[in-house]
Chain A
């Protein structure tokens, strides 16, 4: 039992749950009615209008009101909105015991000590029915949840079932009714002794030996449960016509006060004055659970109509509780979720396919019935699960999962034991913690203890702590414990940790307690912690290192730095198990997997910001509507004004941000737009701080701040500007300013002039005098009409020179740290160009790549498989022998000497040359190649031999002091039969297609023919010594082989041509022979079978070459072919032009040996045509054709095989 809420008060007599809100009404013996929020644990309101104890309360199912009945004989109806009593129903003549609203009619049912049950209409506040018949206090009366029935319990020892259909008919909306109908209705119900047909007794259930305190209907079945002072709980069943006692639940040893059916499960719950809550199995009528309170007698019990909650009222208040944990036991391994359903079946959910497996196991017999397993731990190596249950003081069971989910089978081979927690700590070890004796046992898979650990005292739970470690949870701390070294590695003070969730990379863990999430590293260093006011239920890690957690009503996220926020709200509590992209996978309380969609943009953005992953940020900004005021203020708050700047349009905000991040250029731009003095003012201060006096100057000008401007010019030594300032001052007629400027300029005459203008002759005189301008002084004296001796002068010192700026900085700014564009800005700017380039490049490559993939199957495949079948038949026979032999080998035969290595097996198992190479048997490999493709020259493929050999062996250091153990790398990874193992051959077909072929074709396109020839020859060599994985691939390989040979020939002869004429276009200077040959070669280049776009290239170059050299007939034919087959519109356009020109005079200057209409091959050695019918030889490997005179020499194309040698064909597949 899990207590969720407890209140302290006087005796609680009546309880009601609100169906939607987390509210509970409690009526007390002290005349008060309390309204509690049991989730937050707060008292919402008190209602105190009753006089004396209040025994019954009920919420209305849909309307904001409730009803109460008390010992003042009154029934009161209350409004939840005004929190006032809105009606008082008077009529009972003694204590009112219970009151209930009808689920659809505006009725209230009340039972009273006056021996009556009454039905009231709360809308018109009238009594509509009085049911009499009990001859003692009626303790309880309840509506049937669906039918027109009422059940009542009385101290007269009987339970009565009443039929109220008459009442219902009477109060239904009046319909037109014939007289007959009315008569029929009047007679249908047998009138009771008072002639009352509205409510009649249907059944009287007698069986209790003492008074009956409580009775309730089953929510769906025709069952009734009653509880009485005879300490019994009785179960009754009824049909249309009768009702009978089914069974009795014995166990209470004092009066039973209240009882009810579990709303969803086959359980009965009863409470009594023996201070116990008891849970009974409805089907077996056996006790399932009981809970005892020390001092408080229980008076009443109520069930929440929807969720799995109960409330019981006792002598000192109320308790709200759950019978069992609703957290489904589950565990995630890679893409699989293993969980236990409500039926205790083990199931698997596949995140990749989003499918739920059928049940794999049934754990019906595990733990106690009605008690779901608590935890589940999965071991992928053994495919086993470890389940724990709280039953019997804690027990665990180790079960291996079946290979295929075939239904809820009972597990066959189980290991079990007792303990509170059990988790896998390694592939073949699990830890079992027993709280009672504070001991952790490390056990192996046979369930025998291999090690025992004494955890720190007060340990309450254990969790996986990373490889070889455990996290021990105590009420105040978490301890990281190394199992092997048996010591504490770290300890962290965190209180009340209940769950531990590891990130998928195993580097971080989240410690969840009721209201806190603490994120720690794997070394138990705290990274961040956060507090939630509402209960935290579960958490899971995003792959990027964001923790998502669920509270009772939200899914939230937290980043490592403690930033958190709400992702979405929840309608019902769920337990998160995994996040993948926009999907959150979770289990609900019914243990069903659910997928919720979330918008991860916000936390991804914040994460990208922290990691300074600007590409990602940009991507998010582009693809979502994230940017808003909130994100800007977030960026600003977090100290990223420069990034925020990128998103803002509003000039005012932009200005603020620019000032903040010191981006003066932007600030100036924005200030110009806005042009407000205040902004200029701020800009000037900021620019001055930067030493950017050009901007300062500009702002001062804008602000017309002349004084400061002058001073700035003085400071920067800008004499010319100072002079201008003086002019301006004169123009403005501002004497002070003029004087100041003159002072700055050291312009004495001007100053004297000014004093004279202002009639300040003494000052003028003094100025002149002090600067040694005697003449001037004399003239002033004269002008003022004074004589020299009339004046008393103070002693004069030397005139002070005006300090000058030592460095003339006005021409340029102070060297300011350049406002380098941030990485983010760079990304912003650079993005587009790069992206486009990439896209085009990709476009080409993909187009080329696609070709080889589209090759279909052909008949050859069939042959191969048949061969295989035969071979397998033989192998089978050998296997049997081998096994028989090995049985006789025993350890004593150790002196039998060395055996044959796996490499030898490879050579034995395979007819493929590559496998022999890997085996190190070069000689046989060469033999094979010689037989299969007539290979004679092995030098060009030496590198390939070495590559394969080198990739076939690994070196595992074993005992120090000895050579490392050589192990053999297989391509048949899952094969263990030594007759079938084969070596890994590096560079499979797929990688050749993806690398060399793509490179070769790109080189063709980009006209790097030397490299192209190398690439295609490399393909030929790679394929020659190789192995493929299927007959289909054999065909693909052969096709590739042909392609490579064709390209090699084509490119080689084009290279030959270029060599011949030194790459020039104009060949008029060459001899006739060379001219002819060059023209021929250029024509032959169009013959090899290349991709259409490459043939187009060849045709185009041949056409141009012919056209330039006046071979108009040839050019015409190439142009025609180009128009017909070409893939390039521009080329075609050209071709049409040339065609038009050539058609006027289709003649060749030089006769060349090229008949465009004849079928012929090109000799790969002489680059001359071999017409059909003339003798020729071909390379047994790549199939290139030669004139018969080359027979016996090494092929020019592959450089390995001997032309015309007898060959059986290359084997690539076993």
Chain B
């Protein structure tokens, strides 16, 4: 039986992971799981710990553990996330592991993440393309496509996934990612997916609340978006992504964002918003240099 099917052991932990309820995954009682599901559950837990930024803990815990390629892959990802850069040793390790164990799903997912993050997009896609009916892999592929601005490819993947995975939770989420790029009515559809997750106590998480808030922001429903951000902040006051998006909202509302920015700098200095911001500032100066204004003395 497919362990991810509605009656399977892994379905709840897997859903929790994709709903962004990482703590729930970490705390999940897996003691009663059958032996073949033990490893996937463990990997899920490791991924959840990585998602809550426990990079060093995971890395040190897995150090030297070569019991299975899955675990090795997890330790590579942990090592990479600790200090992400293109020339990290982890990237090379990931490449070699991918070559050796390319058919292992977790290797695909974890090494694929490393490769995609480090910019080796084509390699990542090639690795992930080997998956056999894994929605996780599809999710990664879709995200990579979206990051490459290949909306067409991403939406094709999503449509395909919908065909074989029907209405699974992850398919809905993937469609929402795509929908947030397509816009129009899709904003509303994405909003429904996120809102459904965010407003039910059993499935609520910062990630889904954030999704809801962003969808509302894109729909132009700013007060509602603000309320959702508030809710997310209450759950987790120091979440970089929430803060970054809140800065965006406040900018739109014409509010001052300096405080929010400095606290974001404290929490997550390498957030895209800040990196981008500095980059743009220098670009501005460069562009300015082309003009030489003359001032009246």
Chain A interface residues (CB < 8 Å from chain B): 381, 426-428, 444, 450-451, 466-469, 482, 484-485, 506, 523, 886, 889-891, 893-902, 920, 922-923, 926, 930, 935-939, 942, 945-947, 949-951, 953-970, 973-976, 981, 984, 986-987, 991, 995, 1165, 1190, 1192-1194, 1196, 1202
Chain A residue numbers with a CB within 8 Å of B150 are: 894, 896, 898-899
B296 touches A946 (CB 8 A): no
Chain A residue numbers with a CB within 8 Å of B160 are: 891
B156 touches A957 (CB 8 A): no
Q: Which of B33-41, B61-69, B275-283 contacts A (4 or more CB under 8 A)?
A: B275-283
B186 touches A976 (CB 8 A): yes
Nearest to A466 among chain B residues (CB) is: B200
A973 touches B183 (CB 8 A): yes
A962 to B122, CA, bound (A): 15
B244 touches A955 (CB 8 A): yes
1/0 contact string of B2-26 vs chain A (CB within 8 Å): 0000100000100100001010000
Besides A484-B202, A984-B220, 16 more A-B contacts (Cβ < 8 Å) are A381-B192, A890-B156, A902-B149, A923-B290, A930-B291, A935-B291, A942-B284, A946-B281, A950-B247, A954-B218, A956-B180, A961-B110, A967-B181, A969-B252, A976-B186, A1194-B293
B196 touches A467 (CB 8 A): yes
Nearest to A484 among chain B residues (CB) is: B202
Chain B interface residues (CB < 8 Å from chain A): 6, 12, 15, 20, 22, 47-48, 50-51, 77, 81, 110, 113, 116-117, 121-122, 125, 129, 139-140, 143-153, 156-157, 160, 166-167, 177, 180-189, 192-193, 196, 199-203, 207, 210-211, 214, 217-220, 241, 244-245, 247-248, 251-254, 257, 271-273, 276-277, 280-281, 283-284, 287-288, 290-296
With A889-B152, A938-B284, A950-B251 already in contact, the answer to whether A967 and B180 are too (CB < 8 A) is yes
A938 touches B288 (CB 8 A): yes
A962 touches B177 (CB 8 A): no
CB A807 to nearest CB in B, in angstroms, measures: 52
A485 to B183, CA, bound (A): 32
Nearest to B139 among chain A residues (CB) is: A959
B184 touches A974 (CB 8 A): yes
B152 touches A950 (CB 8 A): no
Nearest to A905 among chain B residues (CB) is: B149
Nearest to A978 among chain B residues (CB) is: B151
A896 to B187, CA, bound (A): 27
With A468-B196, A899-B151 already in contact, the answer to whether A485 and B12 are too (CB < 8 A) is yes
A469 to B201, CA, bound (A): 10
Q: Which 4 A-B pairs have the closest CB atoms?
A: A960-B51, A937-B293, A976-B184, A468-B200
CB A497 to nearest CB in B, in angstroms, measures: 22
Q: Select A955's contact among B144, B220, B241, beta carbons within 8 Å.
A: B241
Listed A/B pairs (8) with beta-carbon separation below 8 Å: A895-B125, A901-B149, A922-B287, A937-B291, A967-B218, A970-B183, A976-B186, A1193-B294
Interface of B is mostly: helix
Q: Select A922's contact among B149, B177, B284, B294, beta carbons within 8 Å.
A: B284
B277 touches A898 (CB 8 A): no
A924 to B219, CA, bound (A): 28
Chain A residue numbers with a CB within 8 Å of B121 are: 898
Nearest to B279 among chain A residues (CB) is: A920
Chain B residue numbers with a CB within 8 Å of A958 are: 139, 143, 146, 177
Chain B residue numbers with a CB within 8 Å of A946 are: 277, 280-281, 284
Nearest to A929 among chain B residues (CB) is: B291
Chain B residue numbers with a CB within 8 Å of A981 are: 183
Chain A residue numbers with a CB within 8 Å of B156 are: 890-891
Chain A residue numbers with a CB within 8 Å of B20 are: 957, 960
B149 touches A467 (CB 8 A): no
A926 touches B47 (CB 8 A): no
Chain B residue numbers with a CB within 8 Å of A1190 are: 296
A1054 to B215, CA, bound (A): 49
Nearest to A969 among chain B residues (CB) is: B218
Nearest to B116 among chain A residues (CB) is: A962
Nearest to A939 among chain B residues (CB) is: B288
B157 touches A960 (CB 8 A): no
B214 touches A956 (CB 8 A): yes
A-B contact count (CB 8 A): 224
A897 touches B180 (CB 8 A): no
B294 touches A991 (CB 8 A): no
With A976-B186, A1165-B296 already in contact, the answer to whether A965 and B273 are too (CB < 8 A) is no
A976 touches B183 (CB 8 A): yes
CB B11 to nearest CB in A, in angstroms, measures: 10
A499 to B166, CA, bound (A): 34
A956 touches B287 (CB 8 A): no
Nearest to A522 among chain B residues (CB) is: B201
A953 touches B153 (CB 8 A): no
Query: Among B139, B143, B193, B292, which residue has the most Cβ atoms of chain A within 10 A?
Result: B143
A987 to B256, CA, bound (A): 13
A954 to B188, CA, bound (A): 16
Chain A residue numbers with a CB within 8 Å of B291 are: 926, 930, 935-938
B245 touches A954 (CB 8 A): yes
Chain B residue numbers with a CB within 8 Å of A956 are: 177, 180, 210-211, 214
B203 touches A951 (CB 8 A): no
B199 touches A467 (CB 8 A): yes
A144 to B201, CA, bound (A): 65
A1202 touches B183 (CB 8 A): no
Chain A residue numbers with a CB within 8 Å of B192 are: 381, 427
A551 to B47, CA, bound (A): 57
B81 touches A894 (CB 8 A): no
Chain A residue numbers with a CB within 8 Å of B196 are: 426-427, 467-468
CB B65 to nearest CB in A, in angstroms, measures: 19
Chain B residue numbers with a CB within 8 Å of A1196 are: 296
With A891-B157, A897-B148 already in contact, the answer to whether A986 and B287 are too (CB < 8 A) is no
Chain A residue numbers with a CB within 8 Å of B186 are: 976
Q: Select B252's contact among A923, A963, A984, beta carbons within 8 Å.
A: A984
Query: Among B77, B188, B294, which residue has the most Cβ atoms of chain A within 10 A?
Result: B294
Chain A residue numbers with a CB within 8 Å of B146 are: 958, 965
A1126 to B55, CA, bound (A): 72
A898 to B148, CA, bound (A): 5
Chain A residue numbers with a CB within 8 Å of B200 are: 466-469, 484
CB B160 to nearest CB in A, in angstroms, measures: 7
CB A1185 to nearest CB in B, in angstroms, measures: 14
Chain A residue numbers with a CB within 8 Å of B251 are: 947, 950-951, 986
A981 to B151, CA, bound (A): 15
A484 touches B203 (CB 8 A): yes
Chain A residue numbers with a CB within 8 Å of B149 are: 898-902
A702 to B288, CA, bound (A): 89
Q: Select A961's contact among B12, B113, B148, beta carbons within 8 Å.
A: B113
A894 touches B210 (CB 8 A): no
B148 touches A960 (CB 8 A): no
B6 touches A961 (CB 8 A): no
With A468-B202, A957-B20, A959-B139 already in contact, the answer to whether A428 and B152 are too (CB < 8 A) is no
B296 touches A966 (CB 8 A): no
CB A416 to nearest CB in B, in angstroms, measures: 21
Q: Select A970's contact among B50, B145, B218, beta carbons within 8 Å.
A: B218
A615 to B283, CA, bound (A): 54
A949 to B273, CA, bound (A): 10
With A485-B202, A953-B248 already in contact, the answer to whether A922 and B210 are too (CB < 8 A) is no
Query: Among B166, B185, B248, which residue has the most Cβ atoms of chain A within 10 A?
Result: B248
A965 to B219, CA, bound (A): 17
CB B189 to nearest CB in A, in angstroms, measures: 8
B272 touches A966 (CB 8 A): yes
B290 touches A926 (CB 8 A): yes
B272 touches A444 (CB 8 A): no
With A467-B196, A900-B149, A958-B139 already in contact, the answer to whether A975 and B180 are too (CB < 8 A) is no
A956 to B209, CA, bound (A): 11
Chain B residue numbers with a CB within 8 Å of A930 are: 291
Nearest to B243 among chain A residues (CB) is: A955
B203 touches A468 (CB 8 A): yes
A960 touches B143 (CB 8 A): no
Q: Select B143's contact among A427, A965, A1202, beta carbons within 8 Å.
A: A965
